[in-house]
Amino acid sequence: MIFPAIDLHNGQSVRLFKGDYQKVTLINKDPVQQAKDIIAAGVRQLHLVDLDGAKSGQPKNFEVIKAIRESFSGFLELGGGIRDYQTAKDYLELGIDRIIIGSAAIEEPQFVKDLLKEYGGERIVIGVDGNNGKVAVNGWIDQSNITMEDLIKAMVDNGAKHFIVTDVSRDGTMTGPNLDLLWKLKQDMPQVNLVASGGIRDLRDLHHLKAFGLVDVIIGKALYEGTITLEQIAEVEKNVS
């Protein structure tokens, strides 16, 4: 699946450059309408991030997320600030199809293990965001010493199946995905589903990723720059299904 991304900051849709909260570009003042436009174009999946939640460790855009869920009839995944059981439960009961756990996978591994046991690997996705192969946490502000590969292996042992892999240094840069990183992870762990995120520019990048066996991709800035359109995404999805 190809997921258009909506990143929420103060109730609006924005893009960050390399995860920098000081480098914010306003995309849409009305993310609910943006979600409606996505489904109207025939794209039935959406990647949603609560940027304020990722930074603070707790939900900050809940009402907007609820409104998006009510107006978007397709597949909706959500990340950002999901670090305790109650928050995870609230979102899943809200009807979010799958939630993305990032920082908590390192800082609260038992919590993630319990979530995977209760809800399964189809509803709990692990976000693996990093720089130079090491995992970044807390809205990418802090750098850990854990490698992306070690985190994925540990979470596979706990029942995780899907991993969103983001090279922070590529995110919002339009310089192409980190194919070397993705290829290495795919070769080392062919059994897991890697979702490519960060740096995607155009359809050519999608073809390169598909050649690696990576068919799930998140697209952010390329949509707003117009190098990929919602109509193109819908067409690619139609040809896959």
Secondary structure class of 20 (helix, strand, coil): strand
Give the H or E element holding residue 153. helix 148-157
C-alpha torsion angle, residues 15, 18, 20, 26 (rounded to 10): -10
- The total of other beta-carbon atoms located within 10 Å of residue 128's CB is 28
Active site residues: 7, 129
DSSP bridge pairs for 212: none
Give the H or E element holding residue 68. helix 62-71
Distances (CA, A) of 51 to 15, 100, 139, 179: 10, 13, 7, 25
